[in-house]
């Protein structure tokens, strides 16, 4: 039986559509483009296949997600967001910014999902970044870049500034403005300009 709030309220209605567990994380993955079912299983660590199937079915029924077949030679079935689904992005950005205030830095026990750095760049910086080519590295294999406000999942050629550090150091840079925690190559002033326009309410971890 489908559980509903049974309230004539836009917030309650929104939660009826995307408030189930895992639903917004499915939307988060699809914000990066069409995904196969197996791609979603791989990226959403811990989700049961029965739960994923149910969430996709519900999101499709509510007009948030649509299925389609890619043209040959791929000919794979993929899920992608509708225009209505993509309109969730600003709300998800604000929710993520709010959550970041009390999230705290990642620890050795935290499992960072594939693409976490590009996702963070997209949520926090893509809409406000100054013109320039920024490359961020958080470990030997994880990289994300900003090119004139557009997020690139991976390294780029000829960045204006490259920032390197472990995930905890990247957190300290953007949340605590700790430039001393990262290695900076290139235009340091451009990086400082990026930090100047980063959302001001991303600050130190909220006290308990």
Asked whether the domain spanning 89-197 has the same topology as the one spanning 10-85, the reply is no
Return the pLDDT at 124: 81
Predicted structure pTM score: 0.81
| Band of pLDDT at residue 206, cut at 50, 70 and 90 | very low
Chain centre to alpha carbon of residue 160: 23
pLDDT digits (tens, 9 = 90+) for 90-100: 999 889 888 87
Chain centroid offset of residue 49 CA? 22
Sorting pLDDT into bands at 50, 70 and 90, what band is 115?
A: confident
CATH architecture of 89-197: 2-Layer Sandwich (3.30)
CATH of 10-85, one of 1.10.10.10, 3.90.226.10, 2.60.40.10, 3.50.50.60: 1.10.10.10
Domain boundaries of the chain, sorted by first residue: 10-85, 89-197
Residue 201 has pLDDT above 60, yes or no: no
The predicted-structure confidence for 133-162, as pLDDT tens digits, reads as follows 999 999 877 889 999 989 998 999 999 999
Q: Output the pLDDT for position 202.
A: 52
Are the CB atoms for 66 and 82 separated by under 8 Å? yes
- Counting beta carbons within 10 angstroms of the beta carbon of residue 109, is it exposed (0 to 12), middle (13 to 18) or buried (19 or more)? exposed
């Amino acid at each position: 039986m489908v559980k509903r709030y049974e309230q004539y309220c836009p917030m309650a209605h929104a939660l009826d559509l995307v408030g189930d567990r895992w639903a917004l994380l499915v939307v988060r993955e699809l914000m990066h483009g069409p995904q196969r079912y197996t791609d979603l299983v791989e990226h959403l660590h811990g989700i049961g296949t029965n739960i994923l199937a149910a969430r996709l079915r519900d999101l499709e029924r509510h007009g948030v997600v649509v299925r389609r077949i890619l043209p040959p030679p791929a000919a794979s079935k993929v899920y992608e967001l509708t225009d209505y689904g993509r309109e969730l992005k600003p709300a998800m950005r604000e929710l993520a910014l709010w959550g970041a205030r009390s999230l705290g830095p990642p620890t050795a026990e935290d499992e960072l999902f594939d693409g976490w750095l590009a996702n963070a760049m997209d949520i926090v910086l893509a809409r406000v970044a100054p013109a320039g080519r920024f490359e961020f590295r958080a470990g030997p294999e994880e990289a994300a870049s900003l090119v004139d406000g557009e997020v690139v999942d991976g390294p780029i050629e000829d960045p204006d500034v490259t920032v390197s550090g472990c995930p905890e150091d990247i957190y300290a840079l953007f949340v605590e403005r700790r430039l001393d925690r990262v290695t900076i190559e290139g235009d340091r002033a451009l990086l400082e300009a990026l930090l100047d326009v980063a959302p001001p309410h991303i600050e130190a971890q909220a006290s308990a």
